[in-house]
Amino acid sequence: MAALAVTVVAVGFAADVSRAAHGARSVRRSENRSFGQLVNTLVARENAFDGHLAYLLEHGSSLTRVVFTARLSQLAAALPGWAEEAVLLRRPVIAHQLNVVVAQVTEERADAAATILNAVAATLHLPWTALSGASGTLAAAQAGLQATAATWSRARYGLVREPGLVHLEALTTLVANLALPTTLATLAASPSLQLHRSAGISAVEVTPTPLPAPAGELLLIAAPTTSLAATVTNAADTYQPVALTATIANAAGVVTHVAHERATLGPLSSIGFSLGTYSLAPGSRGTLVLTLNGVPAGGRWPTVRRYRLVVAPSGTGG
């Protein structure tokens, strides 16, 4: 009877262990399969990014600057999502610490990709906000892409014999295998991608409003003060630092007023400069010269504007 009792207890314990193990295995199978789906979706996105960036770098010389910039920006917009998914994949813990491996690999690849995108934008002088996380050289970024792909290649088989029998996809290395210095040099030499800086003085405003006068002359009303402003327009699709100088000289050529203003123009944008308020004697004559520095001459708008200043005698209005 004692032996029978021991046997019953042992069988019952074995059954409990079996049920617990089966339950644990079921949970692990579910976790592994969910993890596998998420990881394979992320890997697919990273591989699509790799393919699109490699194609853009190899064939981008046929595009315009605007189109090339738009496509590079679309790729950059995908990188923050990688980091967010990497954080989510750190839990729950998966066999062989695969959740940690995929998170680290993803974060490192995002940083390497950001470094490459920043380098491309800098080479072509594109309007660009530097991506965070980027560091190091192009060579280091490519080596990082190669190393992370190799790390993942070794780790991705970790679940093939675990509950769920999950197969994880490999990472591609198209951008890592490009001769990037040569590729970037080819892009920089493309006529359609080269930067053509062009900015100029697109408008001049005087207050009070001048009277009708011949071209190149400002016939001013005699007033206690006269205000001067100018608009500078950037016709290029890149940021452009400029300096605007306004110089007023009297009839004898002696400079009486000078104003300096500096700014950085955004791509294809304009900015207004307030150039001061002046007291000009009624009946006086002189010259006004506006000079824009920082860009080559010959664009759509002039970089130098010259005017004859004529102030009407007091009380006559003309």
For 274, list phi and psi in degrees, rounded to 5.
-90, 120
Q: How far apart are the first and last CA of the chain?
A: 131
Dist CA 30 CA 23 (whole Å)? 11
Task: Give per-residue pLDDT as tens, 200-244.
Answer: 999 999 999 999 999 999 999 999 999 999 999 999 888 899 999
141 with 149: CB under 8 angstroms?
A: no
The order of strands in the sheet holding 226-234 is 199-207, 226-234, 270-278
User: What would the pLDDT profile of 159-201 be if each residue is shown by its tens digit?
Assistant: 666 676 778 899 999 999 999 999 999 999 999 999 888 999 9
Share of the chain above pLDDT 90, in %: 65
Q: Is the model's pTM score more than 0.85? A: no
- Evaluate if residue 17 carries a pLDDT over 70: no
Higher local confidence (pLDDT), 90 or 112: 112
- The candidate with the shortest Cα–Cα distance to 251, out of 281, 215, 277, is 281
- Read off the pLDDT of residues 249-294 as tens digits, 9 standing for 90 and up: 999 999 999 999 999 999 889 999 999 999 999 999 999 999 999 9
Q: Which range is least confidently modeled, 8-22, 32-46, 183-197?
A: 8-22
Please report the pLDDT score of residue 167 as a whole number.
85
Report which of residues 117 and 9 the model is more confident about: 117
The CA angle 31-171-76, to the nearest 5 degrees, is 100
Query: Is the pLDDT confidence value at 122 over 70?
Result: yes
Which of the listed CATH numbers 3.20.20.60, 2.60.40.10, 1.10.1040.10, 3.30.1300.10 matches domain 199-311? 2.60.40.10
196 CB neighbour count, 10 Å cutoff: 12
Contact 270, 202 (CB under 8 A): yes
CB of 141 within 8 A of CB of 184? no
Element (H, E) at 256: strand 255-265
- Cα 39 to Cα 43, 82, 155, 303: the distances in Å are 6, 11, 12, 56
